[in-house]
Structure 1
Amino acid sequence: MNLWFRLLAMLLRRPWKKPVNGLDTTVVKMRVWPLDLDFNRHVTNGRYFTLADVGRMDYVLRSGTFRVALRHKAIPVVGDVWGKFRRELKLFESFEIHSRLMAWDDKWVFMEHRFVRKGRTIGVVIMRGAFRSAKGLVHPQYFIAEMNLDKVSPTMPEWLTSWSQSCDGLSQKLREE
């Protein structure tokens, strides 16, 4: 099933969902459809990143992040994504995407999208993103302040800090080429 149909389905169900605090976890329920599968008849690894977009949009809408973005005339942009797949999802299986804000720094926000089936983690997608306006990147502190969150980010795990630094190094190398 195309991402647009999933986004539409999520939006149609959205009015019944309550707003959440910026550090809460949001949950979107889904099902595996034929177009999600690869030749091995399970969800293709690239599809997890696409499905995480739906979870992220649900979080952005329910946490009020979208209101802050509208005030700054900013759009969300994904900088880097990392995924770990532990178990397979097969045709017509139901699953949930649990999305949460993990941390932030001077430039990026870090989100986790945990794919869960029957209480077990199937896979995890970590996203490093930002909001961009015509004037450039909008500092995460604007969002944090307007979402009534503490200015100090939750502690980033060492692996997340290392991953972010390696992404910065790769970005610098690409700019030099």
Structure 2
Amino acid sequence: MHMLFRTLLHVLFLSRRRPDLGHYDVAKTRFITLPTDLDINRHMNNGVYFSIMDVARFDMLVRNGIWNVMREREWYPVVASETITFRKSLSLWQRFTIESRVLGFDDKAVYVEQRFVRPGPDGQPEVYAQGFIRGRFLRKSGGTVPIPELIEAFGTQPGDGLPDWIERWGQDVALPATRAAAPSVWR
């Protein structure tokens, strides 16, 4: 329940007080590790990282204008795949920033990179954890929003497109379509 409150706090109040962003700019969202974020080892629980990444993505969507496009067109985002790599732990009351950026599209999904960052010993930003999200946009009336329609709404992706490895990751972790067979068979 506390994630709902964190999300509402950011989307309704904090995001609107921060500078607007371009669709592909890096959004920086500040957080603090709360007692409800901790696990038995007294550091942030690995599942909480994903939940806080959700909050930071909503902050990014509000600030880069995609939130308004979604509301006008009755779209909503869903996560299809996500992965995270941990480097250092976040402890109680530590302040940290999540840096979020839309990387681009493949033929089915949108990719986002997110980093948990704190000041390092030299004062420069240091990555504590890094996550990648493969997401889709769905219509409230049903169905998936096609990538050409997303590109029309958000603009073409920056640079040379997605790195090859992230497209392979997206393909390798994808499950069958919702209407296809997906038996649970262990090998």
Please indicate, yes or no, whether the TM-score normalized by the shorter chain is above 0.5: yes
- Distance, in Å, in 2 between the alignment partners of 1:25 and 1:34 is 28
Alignment of 1:61-140 (within 5 A): 61-118=62-119, 119-133=125-139, 134-140=141-147
Alignment CA distance shift 1:138-1:157 (3 Å): same
* Deviation readout 1:63-83 (Å, 9 max, x if unpaired): 111222223211111101111
Alignment CA distance shift 1:46-1:53 (3 Å): same
- Distance, in Å, in 1 between the alignment partners of 2:41 and 2:162 is 36
When the two structures are superposed, what TM-score results if normalisation uses the length of structure 2?
0.85
Deviation at 1:162, TM superposition (A): 1.6
Moved over 3 A (4+): 151-154
When the two structures are superposed, what TM-score results if normalisation uses the length of structure 1?
0.90
For 2:149, the equivalent position in structure 1 comes to 142
Structure 1 residue 158 and structure 2 residue 164: aligned?
yes
SS in 2 for 1:137: coil
Alignment CA distance shift 1:140-1:59 (3 Å): farther
Alignment CA distance shift 1:47-1:157 (3 Å): same
Alignment CA distance shift 1:33-1:7 (3 Å): same
Gaps of 5+ in 1: none
CA contact (8 A) 1:102 1:154 kept: no
Deviation at 1:105, TM superposition (A): 1.4
Tell me whether 131-140 or 35-44 shows the greater mean CA deviation.
131-140
Q: CA RMSD in A?
A: 2.0
- Distance, in Å, in 1 between the alignment partners of 2:34 and 2:160 is 36
Identity %: 32
- Distance, in Å, in 2 between the alignment partners of 1:16 and 1:140 is 30
For 1:31, the equivalent position in structure 2 comes to 32
